[in-house]
Amino acid sequence: MTLRYRLIAFDTAHLPELTDLWITAWTKAMPAIDFESRRTWFVDHLIAMRDRGVDVICAFDAANGTMAGFVTLDSKSGHIDQLAVAPTYWAKGAALSLIDEAKRRSPRLLKLEVNQDNPRAARFYEREGFTRRAASANPVSGLKTWRYEWAQN
């Protein structure tokens, strides 16, 4: 089922809803990790990205105004550091609308890393035309990742 979303630039007023969404989405994707304990890290990380010019784009359910997900995009490099969708909006087109917006803003290249233990995200990116490039590791968690890239044909 695909719903309609309004894409809006992040505002500080969105921070509590966005942070709860990030924790809920990641807890569902990787339940063995305590994402609640990373709340302060995440808030500081997001605000630091925003302050250095990274786009933070939020998708709101057009029917009821609920935040469905968000993506961060450094449009100079094409790097996506964060993409998260609330579990109630999984498989409902929110992630697609966010990644399509990232492609529109960075039409030459997008790049990101996916945890190797996160097959849903890997499948999502592969379905949306991303190519697996190399194995890597997350510098914060040490977890193994895959590097993915998308480039317009």
- Residues that bind ligand COA in the complex, under the rule CB under 6 A: 25-26, 29, 83-85, 90-91, 95-96, 112, 114, 118-121, 123-124, 127
Distances (CA, A) of 135 to 26, 41, 53, 104: 21, 25, 28, 27
CB of 50 to ligand COA, least distance (A): 18
Q: What minimum distance in Å lies between the beta carbon of 20 and ligand COA?
A: 13
**In the sheet where 110-115 sits, what is the strand order?**
110-115, 144-150, 131-137
Closest to ligand COA by CB, 28 vs 105, is: 28
CB count in 10 Å sphere of residue 39: 13
User: Residue 75 or 116: which CB sits closer to ligand COA?
Assistant: 116
CB closer to ligand COA, 47 vs 126: 126
